[in-house]
Amino acid sequence: QSNVTLYGRVDLSVGSVKDDGTGATSNDLVNKTRGKTVTRMFHGGDGGLTTSRWGLRGTEDLGGGLKAGFQLENRFNADTGASQDPYFRGESSLSLMGGFGEVKLGRSTTVYDDVRTLGQSRDVFNSAFTASANGVFKSGGDYASRFDNKISYYSPNMGGFYAAIDYAFDEKAGVSEDKHALKFGYKDKAFEVALGHQNEKDKKDKYTVLAAMYDFGSFSMSGSINRRSGTAANGDDEEYALGVTVPMGAFAFSGGYAYSKTKHSTGGAKDGKANGFALGMTYSLSKRTRVYAGWRDVEVKNASGVKTKDERLYAVGVRHDF
């Protein structure tokens, strides 16, 4: 069948996790790790390189430089076989592409999320081992990485420069939830810089990120500065991330640091603070298969000074693409 490509990835790891935080939680598995080292299996997205997935995609040449394309991507937890929700959580989209750029309809990552990803792309491979993972970036816990009911326009590459915009339609009664995002960037072989912005009206939160990546040859670095501007009750966030990756033959080594501060403008509440360190290593058995080891140390303090999270996670795993 030439019209469709069936692809996917399975990522599984085994490791240990311990959380000395004291914040209340209803999460069964987090409770189990409170003050105690728990050895467990991770399904990639929670303690590995990437979330497991399978999908369908294809493009059709329509002539005259015009192309149609689609992508449908399911995400699943490979340790239990459970599908994530919604079914095509990763992507469910249809595109028309040409000299004018690309128009995409459906559910897919926001262009703001693209920039955020760029800013952490060298930070332990933008994985669950990324320094900002699991609570360091407050906005990571609340911004929407994908919009439903979205129409997007991606410009063509214009001498290295690019731009893109997202608009998600408002389909809920009683609340104005239309959302939009945009990005501008410049990219050449070894360097990329981009500015992204996302506005989620229903939550009254605005996100702005400046991110860059530079490949020095023997190593590459990425970094980002991110701000969330919320209501007086929500407070504002400032977030910083820095990452470095060093390839050595079939090996790649990487490290990262991330820091965030939540400022509350309402009466007297202190700032919440969080930071994370991470280190990782991959070894490529082939283009499609790599083994890896990673470590992540995350500390989150809320506005009352309570450590809601104080987690150390180690894991070794395998990632296989098909």
Tokens (6 digits) for 221: 């670095």
Is 68 one of the binding residues for its own copies (CB under 8 A)? yes
Q: How many residues are listed for the chain in this entry? A: 322
**Contact residue for its own copies among 150, 179, 183, 301 (CB under 8 A):** 150
The amino acid that residue 202 corresponds to is: D
Number of residues engaging its own copies in binding (CB under 8 A): 68
CB 319 to its own copies: min, Å? 8
- When the beta carbons of 107 and 228 are compared against its own copies, the nearer one is 107
Contact between residue 305 and residue 270 where contact means Cβ atoms under 8 Å apart: yes
Closest CA to 311 of 282, 273, 274, 283: 274
Tokens (6 digits) for 98: 């040409």
Closest CA to 207 of 137, 272, 267: 137
Tokens (6 digits) for 314: 């180690």
Other Cβ atoms within 10 Å of 108 Cβ, number: 23
**Contact residue for its own copies among 24, 99, 159, 173 (CB under 8 A):** 173
CB 308 to its own copies: min, Å? 17
Name 181's Cβ contacts closer than 8 Å, sequence gap at least 6.
Answer: 110, 111, 112, 113, 147, 165, 166, 196, 197, 198, 199
Collapsed DSSP state (helix, strand, coil) of residue 299: strand
Please identify which residue in the block is written with the tokens 């790649």. 252
**Contact residue for its own copies among 50, 155, 208, 289 (CB under 8 A):** 289
- When the beta carbons of 7 and 214 are compared against its own copies, the nearer one is 7
Is 22 one of the binding residues for its own copies (CB under 8 A)? no
Tokens (6 digits) for 167: 């608009």
Is 80 one of the binding residues for its own copies (CB under 8 A)? yes
- When the beta carbons of 75 and 296 are compared against its own copies, the nearer one is 75
> CA 228, CA 239: separation in Å to the nearest integer?
8
- When the beta carbons of 47 and 185 are compared against its own copies, the nearer one is 47
- When the beta carbons of 63 and 267 are compared against its own copies, the nearer one is 63
Is 170 one of the binding residues for its own copies (CB under 8 A)? yes
Is 292 one of the binding residues for its own copies (CB under 8 A)? no
> CA 119, CA 314: separation in Å to the nearest integer?
23
**Contact residue for its own copies among 23, 50, 151, 229 (CB under 8 A):** 151
- When the beta carbons of 56 and 221 are compared against its own copies, the nearer one is 56
CB 264 to its own copies: min, Å? 32
Please identify which residue in the block is written with the tokens 């311990």. 18
- When the beta carbons of 32 and 270 are compared against its own copies, the nearer one is 32
Is 49 one of the binding residues for its own copies (CB under 8 A)? no
Name the DSSP letter for residue 52.
E
**Contact residue for its own copies among 45, 49, 51, 88 (CB under 8 A):** 88
**Contact residue for its own copies among 18, 20, 23, 41 (CB under 8 A):** 41
Binding part of the chain for its own copies, among 10-18, 180-188, 200-208, 224-232 by CB under 8 A, reads: 10-18
> CA 311, CA 163: separation in Å to the nearest integer?
38
Other Cβ atoms within 10 Å of 201 Cβ, number: 15
Chain contacts with its own copies (rule: CB under 8 A)? 1, 3-8, 10-12, 14, 28-29, 31-32, 38-41, 54, 56, 58, 60, 62-63, 66, 68, 70, 72, 76, 78-83, 86-94, 96, 105-107, 148-151, 169-174, 285-286, 288-289, 317-318, 320-322
